[in-house]
């Protein structure tokens, strides 16, 4: 797809781009000093792995990369925050390298981020997680704009008003980067679009979530193109618009992602940035670039 920039999500199907993690149980087996040492070694290694990921993207001419949420595990806790702050200069150099290469960096915080929850504890934890992601973007010297997107879903259904109120109160480091994606369960495309209009937050349109939610049989249904255009209008710069695509594994409306992308909405030819949410990652990107796909 020569008119769109296809994005790699976190890791490659091969072992070329991979990251390390540590469990809470293992971390808590140690005292504070040992915890810091464990995290420092892990953060340093994962930062080098991020450098390799950027090298891979440059080599493959991929200009959109989704950083994994687990890049710096436990950096939302004091022990991890201290370690990460000590590494600020190193992290900044890696972010500057991405910028110099024209690679756009985005993040997709995990499912525990539910700003629309009716539980104050869940909301507080959600903001804590988002703050961690925003700090990583700050340390990477990425702009406080949707270019360095922090993307989340709507969360608990029937809570649009709460979502709108809570977004308005978010710190700038989060709010100015925030994007909202439609899903197939609680917040369909029109639902999330309304929240985006009320908050000034851009909408990340996912065509596969949309066809599942609406029970459609083709990506060529008129509403797909319509929602793509409506979502574009929520972006402060339309050239930043980011969309997602995946295909069903066993059938068109299967929620589980297929290995590759065989169906692509024809309207996506006008999308400037497309995250490829296929299981086979870079293999799917190569296939799309080779023109081996059909519309609808």
Tell me if 229 sits within 8 A of 194, measured CB to CB: no
CA distance 213 to 198: 22
pLDDT at 292: 52
289's tokens? 């670039």
DSSP state of 145: S
Query: Which residue ranges in the chain fall short of pLDDT 50?
Result: 1-2, 293-296
pLDDT at 44: 98
Tell me if 284 sits within 8 A of 244, measured CB to CB: no
pLDDT at 290: 85
pLDDT at 63: 97
pLDDT at 296: 43
Three-state DSSP state, 264: strand
CA distance 21 to 71: 8
Exposure b/e, 59-95, CB count within 10 A at least 16 = b: ebebbbbbbbbebbbbbbeebbbebbeebeeebeebb
pLDDT at 1: 45
Three-state DSSP state, 38: helix
CA distance 185 to 267: 23
DSSP characters for 81-119? HHHHHHTHHHHHHHHHHHHHTT-EEEE---TT--TT-S-
Token pair 């390799």: residue: 52
CA distance 263 to 285: 13
pLDDT at 295: 41
Task: Judge residue 166's burial from the number of C-beta atoms within 10 Å of its C-beta, 0-12 exposed, 13-18 middle, 19 or more buried.
Answer: middle
**How much is the mean pLDDT over the chain?**
95
Three-state DSSP state, 167: helix
92's tokens? 């900044």
pLDDT digit string, tens, across residues 204-244: 999 999 999 999 999 999 999 999 999 999 999 999 999 99
CA distance 99 to 42: 24
């Amino acid at each position: 797809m020569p008119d769109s920039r296809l994005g790699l999500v976190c890791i490659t199907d091969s072992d070329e781009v991979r990251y390390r993690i540590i469990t809470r149980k293992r971390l808590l087996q140690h005292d504070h000093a040992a915890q810091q040492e464990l995290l420092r070694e892990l953060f340093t290694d994962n930062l080098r792995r991020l450098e390799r990921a950027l090298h891979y993207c440059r080599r493959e001419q991929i200009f959109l990369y989704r950083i994994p949420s687990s890049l710096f595990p436990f950096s939302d806790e004091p022990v991890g925050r201290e370690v990460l702050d000590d590494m600020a200069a190193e992290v900044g150099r890696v972010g500057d390298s991405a910028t110099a290469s024209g690679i756009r960096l985005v993040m997709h915080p995990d499912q525990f981020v539910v700003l629309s929850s009716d539980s104050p504890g869940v909301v507080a934890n959600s903001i804590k997680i988002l703050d961690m992601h925003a700090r990583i973007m700050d340390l990477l010297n990425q702009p406080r704009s949707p270019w360095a997107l922090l993307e989340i879903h709507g969360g608990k259904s029937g809570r649009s008003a709460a979502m709108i109120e809570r977004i308005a109160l978010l710190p700038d480091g989060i709010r100015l980067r925030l994007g909202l994606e439609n899903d197939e369960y609680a917040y369909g495309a029109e639902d999330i679009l309304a929240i985006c209009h009320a908050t000034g937050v851009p909408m990340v349109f996912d065509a596969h979530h949309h066809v599942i939610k609406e029970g459609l049989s083709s990506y060529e249904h008129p509403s797909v193109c319509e929602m793509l255009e409506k979502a574009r209008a929520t972006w402060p710069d339309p050239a930043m618009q980011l969309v997602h695509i995946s295909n069903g594994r066993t059938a068109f409306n299967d929620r589980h992602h297929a290995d590759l992308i065989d169906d692509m909405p024809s309207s996506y030819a006008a999308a400037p940035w497309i995250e490829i949410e296929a299981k086979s990652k870079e293999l799917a990107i190569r296939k799309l670039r080779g023109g081996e796909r059909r519309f609808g």
